């Protein structure tokens, strides 16, 4: 499975609004912890090590 790097959202604006709302009222540390939990939940959903490795490389390259 190749990593999808092109826009692939259903209701991207709605997701972004929900993401911001989820962070509302959190401290910087709480927000970082929420992001870490979200990443681990989504990584667990993906599951495939090769795809996760590719995602790590892509995130590092675009940062």
For the stretch 23-41, pLDDT in tens is: 999 999 999 999 999 999 9
CA–CA dist 20, 12 (Å, integer): 12
Q: What is the pLDDT of residues 44-57, one digit of tens each?
A: 999 999 999 999 99
Task: Record the pTM.
Answer: 0.84
CA–CA dist 3, 42 (Å, integer): 14
CA–CA dist 51, 20 (Å, integer): 26
CA–CA dist 26, 38 (Å, integer): 15
Cβ atoms 62, 5 nearer than 8 A: no
């Amino acid at each position: 499975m190749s990593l999808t790097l092109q826009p692939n959202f259903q209701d991207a604006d709605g997701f972004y609004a929900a993401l911001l709302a989820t962070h509302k009222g959190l401290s910087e540390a709480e927000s970082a912890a929420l992001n870490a939990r979200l990443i681990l939940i989504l990584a667990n959903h993906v599951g495939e090590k090769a795809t996760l490795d590719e995602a790590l490389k892509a995130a590092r390259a675009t940062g």
